Chain A
C-alpha cells in the first residue's frame, strides 16, 4: 500500500456539489443524526438530502461544519482501504475533523466539538478577511505580489496580519476597517480566472484576539475525552503528535487555545509532512479541488520528487498520482 498523508480542508468544506453525498445506512451517519436529534437540530441526512442548496441553510456553520466533519470522516475511512495513512494534517479548522480522523477524539466527541465551534461561529461577528496570492498562474513565486503584501501589512501596522499561510496564497485578517483599507491598497491581480484580493465575509479564525474561543465554549468542552491519536497528527504550526508519545492534555490545549490564537500555517504543516514523512501520495479531501491545488503548489515549491514546475508536476501527475483529490 502506498504511504499517504491526508490533508483535510478548512472552512467552507460543504458546497452545492456536496448535496446528496451522505450514504444511507452508514454507522457514522446514524450516530451523527442521533446526536443532532438530541440537540434539537435537523439531522444531517435531512439537510444533505435537500432538493437544492440554500445558502441560508447549507451555508450556516451549525449545519455546514458538522456536514463537512461527517463527510471528512467518511472519506478518510474510504482512503484508508487503499493507503497506509502515515500522517494527517489539516488546513485551518479542518483540524477539528483531523482529531476525530486520527482518533484523538471519538466520532461523537469530535461532532460535539464541531457543534460547539459551529455555535461560536454562528454567533460570531461577520468580519472580513482577504485572500491574496503569492504565486503566478504557473505556480512560480511572484515577488511583486509579495512586495505588495508586505507594503500593505506594513502600512496597516498591527491591525492586520497574516492569519493563514497556505503557501500559494495567504489570508489576512484583523480590524475590519483596516482590512478594507488593505483591500484597496493591495495591487489587484488576476490569476487564472480569479481576481485578487478577494474578500471572505467572515472574521479571522486564527491569529487575532477575536479568533480565540470564548471561555464559556471552552468550559462546555471540558467533558470531551481526549485520547492519544492512532495516526500521527501534524498541527498548524508543524508540530507532530504521535500515537505513542503525544500527551492528550497538550492536544487539548493546542486545539482549544493555540490553534486559534496563532496564525494557521498549512504550508508549514505540508512541508513537515513532505520532508519528514516523504509520502508516496498526498490525499487532499474535497469538496472541489481547491485543497488539492494548494497541495500541488506546495509540492512544487518543495521540489518534491524533483518536480519544480507546474508543467513537470502535471506531467508526473498523469503518470502516477502524487496528489489525489477525493471528494468528501
Chain B
C-alpha cells in the first residue's frame, strides 16, 4: 500500500466522475435537490464546489510542503460536510472554529461577495505577513468581515469563550452596548470528537446547560465533527452519542447522511438555537483523510484496510454521486468544476508563495501588547460624572468626603473605585463567584449588585474556566468585563483561558479582535487566621509568563483605586488583558507600624486619577543609605523594616513600591538603585515562582549596577496552615537581617555614586 494517499483519494473522485452516467433528466438550478428538501440544486453544487476547493487547499499545502514553502498541513480533508454549517449560518453569527474548517470557511465566504478565501487561506499556509487575519503569526481560520475570531483550537480552549459570547449577546444589547450583531445572532463553535473530552469543552457544555437551568439565554450551536479519531487513538464506538445524546438542557441532533438530508438537519438545528435561544449539540459525522497532518504516518497505527475503508466514505465522493444521480449536475460539469478548482488553487498557491513573510521582531510583536499611555490617560478622564450623579451611585455619600482623613482600607477603595467605574461606564460588568449578593467573600464588591443591578453585577457558577470564558465572550460583544477569580490558587484551574486564549487574541488576529478585560484576583499570603496554600498562594510566575499580559498588584487603597482606573482605561483603549492581583491580607488592614496607628489607611482619590506601569510609589525619596524594592505585603513589611532601621541604627532607607509586576518598572528601579547604591529586593513570592526578585536583580546586574545587591524570597513550598506559615514566608526579621548585612558589606560602588550617596 502506498503511503501518500492524496493521489489515491483524488483519483477515486476522478474515476467515479469519468465513469458515471448523467441522470436521465436534469434538475432546474432552483429546483429542490430532493423532493421535500430545502436544498436547491444549484446551491448543492455551490456547496460541492466549496468542498472541492477546501480539499484542494489541503492538497496545495502538502504540495508546497514538499518544497518547504508551507508551514501547516493539518487539513480539512474528510470534514468538508461542515460547509453545510458554514452555508446555513449567517456571516454575523460569530463562529469559533476548529482547525478542520476549510469547507465551513469557503461556504461562509461565498455569502459575502468580494471575499477571497482561497488566497487568504494560502497566505496563512505559507505564513505570509499579508495573511489578512494573523499576518503570518499562525495558520488560523479567522476573518473580521466574516465574524470568525481566530484561535488555534487544538485543545478545545475556544469553547468557553464561545459559550461566553452566547451568554453575553442579550446582556450587551440590554445594556445598550454597540456592536455589529443583530438581535437574533447565535454563536457557533466547532471541535472534534476527541476534543469533546477536554475539560474546557465539558466546562462550556456544563455552563451552557446551567444557563438554561437558571433561565438565561444561551444561543450556541456546538458542532462536534466526529471523525472517530483523536490523532492516533480511536474514539470508542458510540462515545459521543452516549455522552451527549441525553444531557438535560442540551438538545442533541445527529447530522449524518446525504447532503440534502444534512442540509435540512443542520437548518433545523440552527433554527432551534436562533428561535429558542438555547444550546444545541450538533453531532456531525465526518471522516479523517490523509492522517492527522502531513507529518503524521497514519500507517503506523492504522491498518491499510482500515485506511482504505475510510477513504470509501470520502464526503466528496458521496456528494458527487448524489449530485449526479439526482440530476443537479452532470459528471462532465463536475469534472470541469474539479479541473477549475485544481488549476485555480495551484495558481493561487504559487502567487501566495511570492508574498512577504514576517522578518523582524518588531513585526512579530507589533500587535502583542499595544500600549498608548497618553491615550489611556485621556480615556481615563472620560466620561466625567457630576458630583450629584456620583453621590447617587454612592447612596448619597462620596467616599472622599469621609469626616476622618485616611479612613479607607484597600477593600473599601477598590469597592469605591468599582462603583465609580460602573457608574460612568455603562459597558462595564462585574461577575464571579459570590461577588453579587454576598458582595464578595472579602466584601470588596459590597453593594455593587444592589447599586447596579443583576444585569451588571452577578454571581456565576463555580467554574473559573467559564468565568474567564464569559469574560472573553462578553468582551467580544463590546462589554468591558471585570471577572473575579476568588483565590489566586483557583486561577490555575483555568489559566489557559488567559494564556492560550485571551492574551493571544490581539496577537493572532493582528489586533482585529480584542478581548479587553480586567481580571480581579484575590491572592498572595499572610492572611491572619485563614491559612493554607489554597487561600494563600504566593506565586505570580504563571501570570508573569504570559506574553502581553499586564499584572497590577496594589498594596494600599489610594493606589488601588488609581491603578484600577488605569487598568480599565488600558483595557478600553488598547484592548489589553489586565490581571489585578489584590493582596487579601491587606484588604482590611488598617495599621502599619503598630496596632491602632491607622498607618495603612488612606483617603479615596476621586476619578480620574490613574497610575500606569512604570509609575512606582516612592517612600522617603530623600533617603539614600539603602533602597528597598517591594510590593504588596512585602511593601508593608519593608516600610516597617525601614522605620526600625532608622530608629535603631540611623539608617535611612528609601522604599519603592513596584505597583505593576508586568511590565516591571526597570527604568525606575535602575534610577533609584544608582542613587542609593545598596539594593534589597523583597519579593514575597516563592523563590522559584518566577517572582520579580530574580528579574530585577538580573536587570541591575546586566546594566552594570556595581553596588551591593540582595534579594529575599519566600521558601519553595506550599503555604502551610497556622503559625507554620512563618517558616516559609518572608518576615520582618529577615528583611532587617538582610538590610544590616548589606550595609556592612564592603562597598563596591563607583566614586560618583558614593559622592551622591554622601551628599
Contact of B336 with A by CB under 8 A: yes
Interfacial chain B residues near A237, Cβ < 8 Å? 113-114
Interface stretch, picked from B41-49, B153-161, B276-284, B401-409, is B41-49
Interface 1/0s, chain A 201-242, versus B by CB < 8 A? 000000000000000000000000000100010010111101
Interfacial chain B residues near A248, Cβ < 8 Å? 29
Interface stretch, picked from B304-312, B344-352, B358-366, B679-687, is B344-352
- Can you offer 15 A-B residue contacts whose CB atoms are under 8 A? A243-B333, A243-B336, A245-B48, A245-B49, A246-B42, A247-B40, A247-B43, A249-B30, A265-B114, A275-B118, A276-B344, A277-B344, A277-B348, A278-B348, A303-B130
- Pair A304/B42 contact, Cβ less than 8 Å: no
Interface centre among A86, A244, A268, A305 (most CB of B within 10 A): A244
- Which are the 5 A-B pairs with shortest beta-carbon distances? A238-B114, A239-B113, A275-B119, A278-B347, A237-B113
Q: How many residues of A contact B (CB 8 A)?
A: 31
The contact of B116 among A3, A246, A272, A306, by CB within 8 Å, is A272
Bound together, the chains give a CA A228 to CA B46 distance in angstroms of: 13
Say yes or no: A247-B113 contact (C-beta < 8 A), given A276-B119, A276-B344, A305-B351: no
| Complex interface residues of chain A between 171 and 192 (CB less than 8 A to chain B) | none
Say yes or no: A244-B114 contact (C-beta < 8 A), given A276-B348, A277-B348, A304-B351: no
Contact of B213 with A by CB under 8 A: no
The contact of B29 among A238, A247, A274, A277, by CB within 8 Å, is A247
Given contacts A86-B340, A278-B347, 9 further A-B contacts (CB under 8 A): A239-B113, A240-B110, A242-B340, A245-B46, A248-B29, A268-B113, A275-B118, A277-B344, A303-B355
Contact of B337 with A by CB under 8 A: yes
Q: Distance (Å) between the CB of B648 and the closest chain A CB?
A: 67
- Pair A247/B49 contact, Cβ less than 8 Å: no
| Complex interface residues of chain B between 356 and 394 (CB less than 8 A to chain A) | none
Contact of A271 with B by CB under 8 A: yes
Residue on B nearest A236 in the bound complex, by CB: B113
- Pair A244/B329 contact, Cβ less than 8 Å: yes
- Pair B116/A244 contact, Cβ less than 8 Å: no
| Complex interface residues of chain B between 107 and 164 (CB less than 8 A to chain A) | 110, 113-120, 130
Contact of B334 with A by CB under 8 A: yes
Q: Distance (Å) between the CB of B113 and the closest chain A CB?
A: 4
Contact of B354 with A by CB under 8 A: yes
- Pair B116/A271 contact, Cβ less than 8 Å: yes
Residue on A nearest B50 in the bound complex, by CB: A245
Q: How many residues of B contact A (CB 8 A)?
A: 33
- Pair A247/B42 contact, Cβ less than 8 Å: yes
Contact of B296 with A by CB under 8 A: no
Interfacial chain A residues near B119, Cβ < 8 Å? 275-276, 278
Bound together, the chains give a CA A228 to CA B118 distance in angstroms of: 23
- Pair A242/B49 contact, Cβ less than 8 Å: yes
Contact of B343 with A by CB under 8 A: yes
Q: Distance (Å) between the CB of A95 and the closest chain B CB?
A: 14
Interfacial chain A residues near B42, Cβ < 8 Å? 245-247
Interface 1/0s, chain B 79-120, versus A by CB < 8 A? 000000000000000000000000000000010011111111
Interfacial chain A residues near B336, Cβ < 8 Å? 243-244
Interfacial chain B residues near A279, Cβ < 8 Å? 347
Residue on A nearest B347 in the bound complex, by CB: A278
Bound together, the chains give a CA A328 to CA B115 distance in angstroms of: 31
Interface 1/0s, chain A 72-114, versus B by CB < 8 A? 0000000000000010000000000000000000000000000
Bound together, the chains give a CA A243 to CA B336 distance in angstroms of: 9
Interface centre among B43, B45, B117, B120 (most CB of A within 10 A): B45
- Pair B49/A278 contact, Cβ less than 8 Å: no
The contact of B113 among A86, A238, A245, A249, by CB within 8 Å, is A238
Residue on A nearest B44 in the bound complex, by CB: A245
Interfacial chain B residues near A277, Cβ < 8 Å? 344, 347-348
- Pair A268/B114 contact, Cβ less than 8 Å: yes
| Complex interface residues of chain B between 318 and 339 (CB less than 8 A to chain A) | 329, 333-334, 336-337
Interfacial chain B residues near A276, Cβ < 8 Å? 116-119, 344, 348
- Pair B343/A3 contact, Cβ less than 8 Å: yes
Bound together, the chains give a CA A238 to CA B337 distance in angstroms of: 19
- Pair A86/B344 contact, Cβ less than 8 Å: yes
Interface 1/0s, chain B 260-278, versus A by CB < 8 A? 0000000000000000000
Residue on B nearest A267 in the bound complex, by CB: B114
The contact of B350 among A245, A272, A278, by CB within 8 Å, is A278
Q: Distance (Å) between the CB of B97 and the closest chain A CB?
A: 21
- Pair A245/B348 contact, Cβ less than 8 Å: no
Say yes or no: A244-B334 contact (C-beta < 8 A), given A278-B344, A303-B355, A306-B354: yes
- Pair A244/B344 contact, Cβ less than 8 Å: no
Bound together, the chains give a CA A318 to CA B402 distance in angstroms of: 81
Bound together, the chains give a CA A100 to CA B337 distance in angstroms of: 21
Interfacial chain B residues near A228, Cβ < 8 Å? 29
- Pair B29/A249 contact, Cβ less than 8 Å: yes
- Pair B114/A247 contact, Cβ less than 8 Å: no
Interface centre among A86, A242, A248, A304 (most CB of B within 10 A): A242
Interfacial chain A residues near B337, Cβ < 8 Å? 242, 244-245
- Pair B344/A275 contact, Cβ less than 8 Å: no
Interfacial chain B residues near A245, Cβ < 8 Å? 42, 45-46, 48-49, 337
Interface 1/0s, chain B 42-74, versus A by CB < 8 A? 110110110000000000000000000000000
- Pair B114/A246 contact, Cβ less than 8 Å: no
Say yes or no: A275-B333 contact (C-beta < 8 A), given A244-B45, A249-B30: no
Bound together, the chains give a CA A271 to CA B113 distance in angstroms of: 12
| Complex interface residues of chain A between 155 and 177 (CB less than 8 A to chain B) | none
Q: Distance (Å) between the CB of B491 and the closest chain A CB?
A: 44
